[in-house]
Amino acid sequence: MRRTLLPLLILLTLLALLPGGCTPASVSGDHFSLDTIISITLYDTQDAAILQQCWDRIDELEDTLSRTRVQSDIYRINHAQGKPVTVRPETAELLSTALEICKESQGALDITIGPVTELWNFKSSDPQLPDAGVLEEAVGRVGYDRVVLSGDTVTLPQGMALDLGAIAKGYIADELTTTLQQAGCKSALLNLGGNVLTLGEKPDHSPWVIGIRDPEGSASQSLLNLELIGSKAVVTSGIYERGFTLQGRRYHHLIDPDTGWPADNGLASVTIVAASSTLADGLSTACFVLGVDDGLSLLARYEDVEGLFIMQDGSCHTTDGFASLLQSPDPK
Ligand code: ADP
Ligand code: MG
């Protein structure tokens, strides 16, 4: 009797000594960076030092990819006056993926949109429309096919400027999964201002439930919920995210590179679900600019990528596989 009870008692004592007893350990935190609030919850550890490693990695990548920080690779490329610039491996990797999506979307995503976005001061408290002639001239300096990426060297013609705003957050989210995996964390939920990423499985093995924002509602109001298994990225580009209203008209931050004006095709938001957050982020902006029909055709060329297009009139369009991601109705 004693022989069988002893190991059980030892096991129970050990479990009681574990932090939080038998309840799964978790830790979460917020960090302001990349012009947004970043939230991370780790579900299989209570080690706050891992969160700090994430904040440090985000800051490191922002130092590399920011358009405005003078030491960043992007700043150096934009100010090199046409000379080749040697960049960090992360920058070369992101540029390579981004240029691929620019090509696939036939320039609906164009990471050389810098001269145009500079003219749209969406952050101003007193926003003004850019001058139409000046905007048209700037459009002439946009063209991703003029970027030369060769190994770790980038050459951008003088007068052009990179803006990685459409894809950098997605790339940083993907990089954070590496940071987490290296720290031994296998279960986490990351939200980088609308770029959501799930890592692994929840401790109770139930699906991740991710809300898709109702473009008509507040930031916390969901139009529908997704149920996701395992590691997935969910990225939304919406007209509510950044922009201003002048004389009853909404000017948002998703710009048609052909015109320099906000894409005006009746869309309110596009959500992409994919394994890669970089890809989902690039495609969300590209699909928004392309509109429903061309956007769905673009998504059809990718495997395991699903999309939801929400129109300003409230109607929705999706890829064929999107319905399988929707939260199943509660049987109760
Ligand atoms: P958010 O920044 O709200 O997450 P997106 O990922 O869709 O939204 O990126 C929008 C940002 O991308 C803009 O703020 C701008 O910097 C840049 N951008 C806007 N239009 C384009 C475009 N057609 N191609 C590439 N970048 C764009
Ligand atoms: Mg995007």
Q: How crowded is the C-beta side of 109, counted as CA atoms within 13 Å?
A: 29
According to DSSP H, which parts of the chain are helical?
Answer: 2-17, 48-65, 73-78, 89-104, 114-117, 132-139, 168-182, 277-290, 292-300
Among residues 198, 152, 203, 201, the alpha carbon closest in space to that of 173 is found at 198
Among residues 322, 308, 302, 315, the alpha carbon closest in space to that of 227 is found at 322
Give the model's pLDDT for residue 269. Answer: 97
Give the model's pLDDT for residue 14. Answer: 47
Residues shown for the chain: 332
How large is the average pLDDT for residues 71-92? 98
pLDDT digits (tens, 9 = 90+) for 294-311: 999 999 999 999 999 999
How large is the average pLDDT for residues 98-113? 98
How large is the average pLDDT for residues 216-241? 94
| Helical axes 89-104 vs 277-290, angle rounded to 10° | 30
Q: Is the pLDDT of residue 240 over 90?
A: no
Give the model's pLDDT for residue 125. Answer: 85
Give the model's pLDDT for residue 332. Answer: 53
Q: Which of 38, 106, 254, 256 to mutate to test the pocket of ligand 1 (most atoms within 8 A of CB)?
A: 254
pLDDT digits (tens, 9 = 90+) for 142-182: 999 999 999 999 999 999 999 999 999 999 999 999 999 99
Give the model's pLDDT for residue 13. Answer: 47
Q: Which residue's CA is minimally distant from atom 1 of ligand 1?
A: 237
Rounded distance from Cα 167 to ligand 2 centre (Å) = 5
